[in-house]
Structure 1
Amino acid sequence: MPNLFLFGTLCHPPLLEIVFGRPVEARPATLTDHAVVTLPDRAVPATALRAVPGEQAPGVFLRDLPNEDLARLEYYLGGFDNGLREMTVSVEGTSRSAMVACRKATPEHGDGPFDPEAWARGWAVLACQAAREIMAQFGSTDLETMNQLRPFVTSRAWAQQLAQDGAPHELRSDRGLDTVEIVRERPGFEGFFRLRAFDLRHRRFDGTMSETISREGFIAYDAALVLPYDPATDRVLLIEQLRYGPVLRGDPFPLVLEPAAGLIDSGETPETCALREAEEEAGLKLRELRPMVKIYASPGYTTEFFHCFLGLCDLSEDDNGLAGLDEEHEDIRNHVISFDRAMELIDSGEINVGPLVMMLFWLARHREELRRNA
């Protein structure tokens, strides 16, 4: 059974325990003539080794790991990019042979030295949450499929981070998650979305605990929605596209009118996502974002959560036309219309997407002020 040298994020004990599915004995170690660097452009910051003469790469030494542990590590990392290489490391002053998962970074690929304390403050909780979902599928979902799902796993973990902001509770109860007990989890679908089956009980308003209830929940994402508005001309931009919900429901007209919207990537702020989606889906550069509301789409069965914004911009007839990203299979048509026309489409039922109705009503409440200050 081989020894193993791990570095960077894998030196974080809680993450290491999730990856191997058990506590492991890890001893401090160093690798000579190497440095640990952060890889850029990752949903969750990852680390790699860079050859640097005279440097000492810190890490941990694990002795006599069984093949099952190596398989779990490979699954978590998404494969050993450059294989496992036998190298000599220093363990408490003694030279030891160890296998190293050599994800290497050339000088142009690294993004500076890895700061474990900064990573632990900013990313450890997210990394552990994503690791739990990844490793829960070890043995049931193949590595290639998991690598395709990995960005969505980290986005779901990021949604749980965003959820920590909470919302006011002046009228509603201040009972917290400590009054809800997940008694048992049952197998559910794992993919772009998750279907989580579970049994739970919770504290009731009269102070007693409920009976155990079996439920299923749709684990989705946080999304940013933006309604472009030109207060000078009192016009909005709506996008039109095919949606699969109406198709599956059997709606004879499955194209819908919506605000621009997109899933919030791991580490991305809702505001950044809103600006990106306005440009990608509507071809607009917004001059200002105004927060509207933050809402659960349908809290009875899904975690999906919307961060809604008004996007102040200049709109003209030139903003009509086709848009969307081919790589995301988007086929979008833009409609620049007056605010009054949009409200007529709500009355007629042609606008039948809830978030857009809500956002237009929000605009109706604030429209006069926005127009006065245009």
Structure 2
Amino acid sequence: MEDKLRNIKYNVLSKEWATLYQIDYDYKFENNNWKRLSRESYDRGNGTGILLYNKEKQMVILTKQFRMPAYANTPKDGMSIEVCAGAIDKNENPEVCIIREVEEEVGYKITSAKKVIECYTSPGAVTEKMYLFVAEYNDAMKINAGGGLDIEDEEIEVLEMPFSQALSMIETFEIIDAKTIMLLQYAQIHKLLE
């Protein structure tokens, strides 16, 4: 890409919860013409997500919480059903992050997770890369009620449900979160559950 980009200039538009940049740059098209372009890019760091599954019970653990951007887009109720997820701290390993998030959000103590997907969910506007994992859980791993951290203003409902029900909730548009859909379909394709 070095020969197709030049004169890149970042201008900070907002630095609240994350950083919103206006990025101006020259881009060389296939016809060899250069054009000055401008895009906005939201940088909130990278994130993790995990599908916790129990083969014996054929269950998965999901979360339900309010999401203001979803509400702003479609003002119904703004509640979103998702896999456990979280933002990666600077210089933190994604697996270390998701193991911590599992304990905070859903109350289970896992010791490892398998990374199965790396993806951008909106590469035209957001810099965030998602590192997606799967891990098995059982009832003995439950160490607290979960629900998130008060200091992070989290209010998370923990949902344990049959895998088949979670899959059907994609078809009925009750689950519309991209990372959750990808992980549930990964589990289906790779036959982690029936």
TM-score normalised by length of structure 1? 0.48
- The equivalent position to 2:162 in structure 1, one of 334, 338, 345, is 338
Alpha carbons 1:229, 1:315 under 8 Å: kept = no
**2:133 counterpart residue number:** 309
User: Which structure has more helix as a fraction of its residues?
Assistant: 1
- Deviation readout 1:167-189 (Å, 9 max, x if unpaired): xxxxxxxxx34532244344511
- Deviation readout 1:191-236 (Å, 9 max, x if unpaired): 22111112212233x3614311122111221001111111222210
**1:352 counterpart residue number:** 176
Deviation at 1:301, TM superposition (A): 1.1
SS at match of 1:323: coil
Larger radius of gyration: 1
- The equivalent position to 1:211 in structure 2, one of 35, 56, 72, is 35
Alpha carbons 1:288, 1:313 under 8 Å: kept = no
Deviation at 1:278, TM superposition (A): 0.5
- The equivalent position to 1:196 in structure 2, one of 21, 24, 31, is 21
Deviation at 1:253, TM superposition (A): 1.7
**1:265 counterpart residue number:** 89
SS at match of 2:187: helix
User: Which structure has more strand as a fraction of its residues?
Assistant: 2
Would the alpha carbon gap of residues 322 and 312 (structure 1) be closer, same or farther in structure 2, given more than 3 Å must change? closer
1:240 has 2:64 as partner: yes
Would the alpha carbon gap of residues 289 and 329 (structure 1) be closer, same or farther in structure 2, given more than 3 Å must change? same
Indicate the structure whose relative CO is greater, using CA pairs within 8 Å and at least 6 residues apart: 2
**1:275 counterpart residue number:** 99
- Distance in 2 (CA, whole Å) between partners of 1:272 and 1:266 is 12
Q: Aligned AA for 1:237?
A: I
Would the alpha carbon gap of residues 197 and 285 (structure 1) be closer, same or farther in structure 2, given more than 3 Å must change? same
SS at match of 1:188: strand
- Deviation readout 1:225-271 (Å, 9 max, x if unpaired): 11111122221001011111122224212111011111111221000
Aligned residue runs from structure 1 range 73-84, under 5 A: none
How many pairs align?
Answer: 193
Alpha carbons 1:229, 1:313 under 8 Å: kept = yes
Aligned residue runs from structure 1 range 157-236, under 5 A: 176-204=1-29, 206=30, 208-236=32-60
Would the alpha carbon gap of residues 200 and 263 (structure 1) be closer, same or farther in structure 2, given more than 3 Å must change? same
Alpha carbons 1:219, 1:302 under 8 Å: kept = yes
- The equivalent position to 1:255 in structure 2, one of 74, 79, 97, is 79
Would the alpha carbon gap of residues 353 and 320 (structure 1) be closer, same or farther in structure 2, given more than 3 Å must change? farther
Would the alpha carbon gap of residues 178 and 312 (structure 1) be closer, same or farther in structure 2, given more than 3 Å must change? farther
TM-score normalised by length of structure 2? 0.89
* Greater shift in the superposed pair: 236-245 or 181-190: 181-190
Residue segments in structure 1 that go unaligned for 5+ positions in a row:
1-175
- Distance in 2 (CA, whole Å) between partners of 1:308 and 1:238 is 14
Aligned residue runs from structure 1 range 287-302, under 5 A: 287-302=111-126
**2:186 counterpart residue number:** 362
Would the alpha carbon gap of residues 225 and 187 (structure 1) be closer, same or farther in structure 2, given more than 3 Å must change? closer
Deviation at 1:320, TM superposition (A): 10
Q: Aligned AA for 1:284?
A: Y
Would the alpha carbon gap of residues 349 and 178 (structure 1) be closer, same or farther in structure 2, given more than 3 Å must change? same
Aligned residue runs from structure 1 range 118-137, under 5 A: none
- Distance in 2 (CA, whole Å) between partners of 1:325 and 1:289 is 22
- Distance in 1 (CA, whole Å) between partners of 2:8 and 2:161 is 51
Q: Aligned AA for 2:19?
A: R
Identity across aligned pairs (percent)? 26
